[in-house]
Chains A and B, each alone.
Chain A
Amino acid sequence: MEERQYDLIFICRPDTPEADIDKLIATIEHTATDKGARIEKTEKWGRKRMAYRVHKLREDFYVYMILKSSHGEVVKELERRLKVSDPVIKYLTVRLDEELKRQAKLKHHRERRAARRPRKTTPAAAAPTGEQAQGIA
């Protein structure tokens, strides 16, 4: 099976010490690599104001990760772990590889179209001045 890409975001309580968050990230990474996933990126967004209150908290600590894995089991395991760990109050995993693939495809199409456009318009618009069109092309 081909490799899938996941975005994993989780939110910790703002009163957890930085060391605990680092430890949590380390365990998450460890579990992920154990299950055969690769960590592409780990980012601590830090304290951010949330759009609504969760557990009566207005502000929280965001951690963002990009994972790559060829099977979905790892997500299940990670979500289970996030669910039981105390400081985490919210998490979200999104599978993104299909959208990224689509993005790449559309970009490819656009580039090809952009490359083709001058050739297509010149013969119709400027047929008598062929040498000019060639000069431009």
Chain B
Amino acid sequence: MPEDNAPQQQAPAPSGPGPRPQGGPGGGMRPGGPPKRGKRSFVRKKKVCRFCVDKADFIDYKRAEILAPFIQERGKILPRRMTGTCARHQRWLTVAIKRAQNIALLPFAAEL
């Protein structure tokens, strides 16, 4: 399975829009270098920022339902590495979540 995946991943790279540096599409590969043959090469699905997909220029703190997926059950704000949100949108998102918490639209912590 891993042997099958590696060539498939690299195949579309040359036909892409522009010349790319070695290493194929940035999705699955670790920055450590080319994938080792055989063991330890699994393709990780690249997470994309939900707000970038929606082309959000502004995250509204009043809409708790769009902020809710980004907090844990206990009320913690999820880190970027879990949700795949880009840096800019995470910055806006935290501000929005904190505002929503202040006006009791989102919890600070889980209820007892």
Residues of A whose CB lies within 8 Å of any CB of B are 7, 9, 11, 50-54, 60, 64, 90, 92, 94, 99-100, 102-103, 106-107, 110
Contact = CB atoms under 8 A, between A and B. Distances in A.
Q: Which of B64, B101, B105, B111 gathers most chain A CB within 10 Å?
A: B105
Given A94-B61, A99-B58, A103-B58, A52 B103 contact: no
A64 to B, nearest CB: 7
Q: Which of A7, A99, A106 gathers most chain B CB within 10 Å?
A: A99
A94 B104 CA distance: 14
Interface residues of B, number: 17
Contacts of B64: 51
A50 B107 CA distance: 8
Interface string B81-112: 00000000000000000010111111111010
Given A52-B108, A53-B111, A64-B62, A11 B57 contact: no
A124 B20 CA distance: 17
A51 B58 contact: no
Given A52-B108, A52-B111, A53-B111, A11 B58 contact: no
Nearest to B106: A51
B44 interface: no
B39 interface: no
25 contacts: A9-B62, A11-B103, A11-B104, A50-B104, A51-B104, A51-B105, A51-B107, A52-B107, A52-B108, A52-B111, A53-B111, A54-B104, A64-B62, A90-B103, A90-B104, A92-B99, A92-B102, A92-B103, A94-B61, A100-B58, A102-B58, A103-B58, A106-B57, A110-B55, A110-B57
Nearest to A50: B104
Interface in B47-81: 55, 57-58, 61-62, 64
Contacts of A11: 103-104
Contacts of B99: 92, 94
A11 B102 CA distance: 11
A50 B99 CA distance: 14
B107 A9 contact: no
